[in-house]
Amino acid sequence: MQVPIELSIFRSFIAKFIAGALAFAVVATAAFFVPVTPPPVFEVAARIWVQSKLPTEGGGSGGGGALSPVLSYFNSPINTAGEVMKSALVLEEAISALRKKLPAERLPGLNDLRGGLRVDPVRDADILIIYYRNNYAYVGVEVVQAVLDAFLRVNSAQAAVSAKQSRIFLESQLLEYKTQMKELSEKVQVFKTSHGILDLEGETEQALDQISAIEQGIENTKIALAELNSRIEYLSSKSGVHPGQALRVEELSQDGLVFQLKQNIADGEGQYNELAMRLRPEHPRMRQLRRAIEQDKRRLTNRYRKLLGANEVAIESEADSSVEGVKARMLEQLIAALPERIVLETRIGLLQESLVQARKQLTSMPAEQVQLAELMRAEQIAIETVSETEKSLNQARLVEAVASKTSSYQIIDRPQVSGVTIASKLPKFASALVIGLVFAIAVFFGLDLLDPRMRRITPVLDTLPLPVIGWVSELVPADRVPELRESMHRLRLSIKGLLTGESNEIVIASADRGDGKSAIAAGLAMSFAESGMKVLLIDANLLEPTQHYVFNLPPSPGLADYLVNPVPDLWHKLMRPVGKNLKVITAGAGPAGVGLLATDAIREMMTIAKSEADVVIFDTPAITDSPAALALISPKTHLLSVVRMNHTLKQSLLILASQLRHHEFASGSMVIADVDEFALASALAKAGRREALELEE
């Protein structure tokens, strides 16, 4: 079959390789002639003069002496001005100004601005040099200018006065907040000491966790009890013994042992529930108590069994598959379930009592809890207020220090580009090869991913939900059908058990042309004939007939001729014997159209064909040619779908699966061609399909 041009590029490895090679040649050539150069980095610089109010000489009283150089460094207004220039106050104001001048994609963030900005003092001079590096020169100029303008605005005379007033106000506020914080801390400690509660919040949380655990235990026990009651009702209805009737002996005789065992189970559950509040289930005492409860349950079961006289019946009926034996086993299970119901009902009652006690304990906490929570919340607010006030005070002191120690600022040099850094160019030849290779690999694997064929077994199993009844390792052309003898022998053995006297028709269908449907139909017909069964093979593929080539027969008269003129005399001329036990009806030379398969004549023909042979096999058109390809399917036919790996299209297989939902047939199965036996067995086993065991056997 000729592959469409639009799909050949996906189906051929050579086509994918050629496409990748062309992509490599085009991209590598383009990359060689297009320069590969990293963007340059521009460095913008500006200088500012800072005049100091403080004497730089160490004369006069109160001089620093030997420590004068050190003190002059830490008290130097030039260093202080440099720190202020990189402070968040200045940089945030600069960014606000830049929003009006730069596009959003070029606007630097606070961290980017702080990382790219550098301020260096000039030794023995009251000069600062501001540097900024960026990939765009105009951005660097605007950023440095905005930083200078923000610095000058922050350090104006008005800002200095305002900073001093802010500092005085913040110092008084800080003292007041610290006093409040100290008082609140003392109140919290006094409250905890006077009430003897060091972790009231933790105790409340623990009580809530305990209540939640008890509620979850009640819910789980109720679910288990509901499931057990459902099971008891089921066993009661199936065995014909009502749970009340099962206890009639106890009610009539007032058996003392049953009463004592119930009491022991209730007491044991109560002790276990009480210890569960303090001990883990792995504790020896807990395990010992649980063993005692289980032992009492077994003794109660045995007592029920003895009172009902069911012990001997259950033993005698253990291997009995009769109705009486089944009912006896159900009665045995019913007796064993009754003690478990007593345990669960007792456990629910005990857990509900524990829940009431835990809630009472929790209600005694809220008054103290609320009072302590309010104190601790006030203390936390005071701590946060002190912290924020300290930050504001430090900022005000910094601004005031700069304003008080400097008298004027003068920009010496406006921002301008002082240097350009260009990274070394990558070798053109090497970069072109790498880029071309990357594109070639991308094209190859892209075409591979876009391949519309079914290339893995698992998607086939997911798309067409039919059991796998056979496989063909390597499909051959129709003229070499005898080479499939072994595969067709396995397939015949799998299908033979499905055939009956009333249902002996096999319709072989596929999703696409070239899936191997005709070859499998011919091979299967030969295999049935060799086994001694009378076989009739009908070529119903009126669009692309094949069987007359396989068996070297004239195409006419055939099926199409009969469907156009269904006369009895023509029927016997259609069936041509081919060897022993095998007859073939070719497609014929009538009007080629699958619409003939949907006429009433096809049903009459199928009735006649069914009486002519033990097995009737129909070779149908592909489903992509026409939905009428499935017109031969009926409730008495067996459908055999052929899927060919690396050939059948996923979209076509989806169409086939969709069409099969609207048809009713006796059985449906699937044959996968061009597949490795072990890969198929592995895929079936991974999917949890029973066919995996059959393949392995």
pLDDT tens digits, 428-448: 566 667 776 777 777 767 766
- The pLDDT value recorded for residue 66 is 43
Residue type, 491: L
* Strands lying side by side in the sheet with 127-134: 117-121, 127-134, 41-52, 406-421
Task: Please tell me whether the overall predicted TM-score, pTM, comes out greater than 0.75 for this model.
Answer: no
Q: What are phi and psi of 510, to 5 degrees?
A: -150, 165
Residues of the chain with CATH 3.30.70: 41-154
Q: How far is CA 74 from CA 68, 78, 79, 391, 554, in A?
A: 10, 10, 8, 21, 111
3-state secondary structure of 59: coil
- The pLDDT value recorded for residue 68 is 43
- The pLDDT value recorded for residue 153 is 77
- The pLDDT value recorded for residue 356 is 80
**DSSP secondary structure string for all residues of 257-286:** HHHHHHHHHHHHHHHHHHHTTTS-TTSHHH
Whole-number Å distance between alpha carbons of 46 and 411: 8
Whole-number Å distance between alpha carbons of 335 and 347: 20
Residue with tokens 């014929």: 588
pLDDT, tens digit (0-9, with 9 covering 90-100), for 580-613: 899 999 988 765 566 677 777 778 888 888 888 8
Question: Which positions of the chain have pLDDT values less than 70?
Answer: 1-13, 16, 28, 30-38, 51-76, 123, 155-163, 195-206, 238-255, 277, 307-329, 332, 361-374, 399-408, 422-432, 436, 444, 447-449, 590-595, 627-628, 690-697
41-154 belongs to which CATH class? alpha beta
- The pLDDT value recorded for residue 255 is 65
- The pLDDT value recorded for residue 61 is 39
Residues of the chain with CATH 3.40.50.300: 457-696
Tell me whether strands 576-577 and 637-644 are parallel, antiparallel or unpaired.
unpaired
Q: Structure tokens of 383?
A: 């701590």
- The pLDDT value recorded for residue 693 is 40
CB atoms within 10 A of CB 54: 11
Q: Structure tokens of 39?
A: 């963007």
3-state secondary structure of 669: strand
Q: Structure tokens of 273?
A: 């529930």
Whole-number Å distance between alpha carbons of 587 and 131: 89
CATH code of the domain occupying 457-696: 3.40.50.300
DSSP state of 573: H
Whole-number Å distance between alpha carbons of 82 and 138: 23
